[in-house]
Amino acid sequence: MVRRGQSRREAGAEELTMSWKNIPSKCAALGLAALCAVGAVADDAKLRHEGVATCASSLCHGSSQPLKAYDSALQNEYTTWSQFDPHSNAYKVLRNKQSQEIARRMGIGPAHEAPACLACHSDAVPAAQRGVKFQLDDGVGCESCHGGSEKWLATHYQSPRIPRSEHLANGLVPLEKPEVLASTCLGCHVGDQNRYANHRMMAAGHPRLVFELDTYLELWRTSGGREHYRKKAPTNHSALWVKGLVDSSRRQLNLIEQHGAGRMGPIPDFGVFACHSCHRDLRLTAFGGSSALGIAPGDLRWQDAHLLVLRRVAVALQLGSRTELDRAVVALQKAAHGDSSSLRVALTQTRTALSSVEQQMGSVAWSAAQMNTVAQALTDASRRGEFPDPAAAEQAAMGMVVMLAGLKLDQGKKAEINRLFDDLRDDNAFDQRRFVKWMSVLGTRN
């Protein structure tokens, strides 16, 4: 996969293995889209999904090389998807030994037939919505993200004669909108009311989920060393990064509310807690809390990796009411050890703070000075121990690289970036001192 320290064409196919933090290493056997899920996906407004084969013509999206007939499409998207996009393998990995063993331990039948797994490893629409060329084993295909094509497939290329607004009205998903794009990706990669990587799944062997919207979109867009789509406008990576943090945090709050204390019986589902609240070597003298987070040794922490990074960004850029989010995150963690009433109050306060941050995001110009300020804030927070486990450290590291890329400093720091992510490769070998060292090196302007 493509590293943020490389040019887009320099990357090449070997990048599918990712040397700077093998982000999908925890998901390698299950694919980039890996997420066993609970329940069924939305019925996509009952639109029929015609299948990826309907896009595969060489005159549509199946060309072996980019074409110039349309400004909005490369016309080789199907070819790129089938050869280089990890989503095309999402169903196939359900048949491998690791996936079958996970399903066996969970007692849900074969993984490639279990609705809990198909919900994110395939385009799992009901049988009544499957066209004649639809195949479940195509994995996460075009319509998984672009929506059922029944009403727009035959005409979506006839622009501008048929306006895009008509296609959108007929079910085409407007992925050019950041909020829609984030919602589409996060449904599987973080979870929603129907899809959730619970503690039982992870105990059975499912990898811990790792996702950051901007980084993963860029890795996906250029995997295999070739672009997956034609850019219509430059991407503001910094703004998309913060949008991803906000939406991921909001999703996590929803999961806490749905599966936290009192929601699934007297014991909550431990999947909503930070894994490394418990999964640490008990021989370590440093097991436990962080005074900077208001957490005492032995306390359980909600899954808060995105929130921990976002709160530092919000303070650095003065988004929201100064330290509103900062205070809300600490209160939310304290509520993990209170009653259901205090948790509801803390969730409401955190959602309000997130909305306040989101409302002010549009005013951020993402100047060099602002990106430097955020990078320094991430470095300082690292030194204070505010990213105390691999999940939080990953998010902070990816954010640092987004800032370096925006400042055009990533090329000159590729070796240091690689060392940082090499040290984050193995959760069990996480050393906060080394993490702080490399974050400090990257945060130094020279």
Lowest mean pLDDT among 141-145, 165-169, 385-389, 437-441: 385-389
Q: What's the average model confidence in pLDDT over 409-431?
A: 92
pLDDT of 126 over the 60 cut: yes
Rounded Cα gap, residues 162 and 328, in angstroms? 48
Rounded Cα gap, residues 285 and 235, in angstroms? 45
Q: Which fold would CATH assign to domain 16-212?
A: Flavocytochrome C3; Chain A, domain 2 (1.10.1130)
Stated pTM of the model: 0.87
pLDDT of 96 over the 80 cut: yes
Q: What's the average model confidence in pLDDT over 50-69?
A: 93
What are the residue ranges spanned by the domains of the chain? 16-212, 237-443
**For position 39, what pLDDT does the model report?**
33
Q: 135 versus 40: which is more confidently predicted?
A: 135
User: What share of the chain in percent tops pLDDT 90?
Assistant: 66
pLDDT digits (tens, 9 = 90+) for 373-382: 999 999 999 9
User: What share of the chain in percent tops pLDDT 70?
Assistant: 85
Q: Are 372 and 407 in contact (CB under 8 A)?
A: yes
- If you write DSSP's letter for every residue of 66-96 in order, what string do you get? --SS-TT--S-HHHHHHHH-GGGGTTGGGGS
Residue count of the chain, please give it: 446
pLDDT band of 282, cuts 50, 70, 90: low
Q: Are 348 and 254 in contact (CB under 8 A)?
A: no
pLDDT band of 444, cuts 50, 70, 90: confident
Q: Are 349 and 341 in contact (CB under 8 A)?
A: no
User: Tokens 């084993």 belong to which residue?
Assistant: 137
Q: 152 versus 341: which is more confidently predicted?
A: 152
pLDDT band of 225, cuts 50, 70, 90: confident
Q: Are 223 and 1 in contact (CB under 8 A)?
A: yes
Backbone phi, psi, residue 123, to 5°: -90, 80
List CB contacts of 296: < 8 A, sequence separation 6 or more: 288, 289
Lowest mean pLDDT among 15-24, 340-349, 378-387: 15-24
List CB contacts of 220: < 8 A, sequence separation 6 or more: 32, 85, 86, 87, 228
The amino acid present at 115, given as its one-letter code, is P
- In three-state secondary structure terms, 302 is strand
